[in-house]
Amino acid sequence: MAIRHSHHGTAAFLALLCLLVLPLAAQEEPVIASTSWVQAFVIAAGAKNVVTIAPFELQHPPEYEIKPSDLLAVQHASLIVYSGYEKFAKKLAETAQNKNLRILAVYTDNVPSTIIAESKKIAEALGTTAEQAKWAQSFTSFTENLRSEVAALPDKKVVVQAYMKTFVDWLGLDVVGTFGPGEPSPAVVLDLIKKKPAMVLDNYHNPGGKALAESLGVPYVLLINFPGKDGTRTIEDVFLYNEKAILQQNGK
């Protein structure tokens, strides 16, 4: 009886070991995302095992400098996804010494149609188009509901940092002027004051509009593109963060 028990115990242990090992085997080739913004697109595409190179905590992730540990991560990856403005991403791919590594560039912009189109490109490379299509349907409904809340604001005239303009346009706000990147010149400030906006919407990752908001005497709102700030992780988190930031300044 004791021997039979031992065999049963060994069999049960091996069965459990197989259950633990199988998911790992399916995940042994991660997808590398250059930044948290790209990572959000990769997750939207249906990827489950994603390694993000630039830390989430960075205010301006494209400035990240790669480390030896990053090269190790890429050696076992199947795909690296990046956008064009991170100098470190291309260098990372070139020095990874991984002949099987595929490289895919995506265009990052927080407009739903762009996010859906670019995440579909990633899904096609990964073979996860069914997962991406399901996500896209949910995301479309989510963003339309969010936009309708912002569209209900009484005064929609805003001045916005240039890199945020497409997102703010999509929200349905009336962009009467842009500035940046960096602080606007006195001439630009004078011109924007004449537009009489209700808010100044700045870019947390490259701010420059606080003095402008003070000159105008209007609310100053920091918006984000990259997940990371205040625990944001997904593209949905980014949209919710920005919606909350705008509505709070309007007593909503």
Establish if 7 belongs to a structural domain.
no
Please, which pLDDT band fits residue 236 given cuts at 50, 70 and 90? very high
Residues 77, 29 contacting (CB under 8 angstroms): yes
Comparing 15-24, 89-98, 134-143, 198-207, which segment has the lowest mean pLDDT?
15-24
**Residue 59 DSSP symbol:** S
Task: State the average pLDDT for the chain.
Answer: 87
| 72 vs 240: which has the higher pLDDT | 240
pLDDT band at 179 (very low <50, low <70, confident <90, very high): very high
How far is it, in rounded angstroms, from Cα 225 to Cα 214?
A: 23
- Domain count for the chain: 2
- How much is the pTM? 0.85
User: In CATH, what number is assigned to the domain containing residue 209?
Assistant: 3.40.50.1980
Q: Say if CB 94 and CB 74 are below 8 A apart.
A: no
Give the pLDDT score at 180.
87
For residue 220, the one-letter residue type is Y
Closest by CA to 180, choosing from 219, 157, 212, 214, is: 212
Contacts of 72 (CB under 8 A, 6+ apart): none
- Whether residue 20 is contained in a domain is answered as no
Smallest CA-to-CA distance from 197 within 166, 170, 161 is with 161
Give the range of the structural domain holding residue 123, as residue numbers without chain letter: 26-142
Residues 107 and 186 in one domain: no
Last residue of a domain, one of 111, 142, 173: 142
Flag whether 5 is in a domain: no
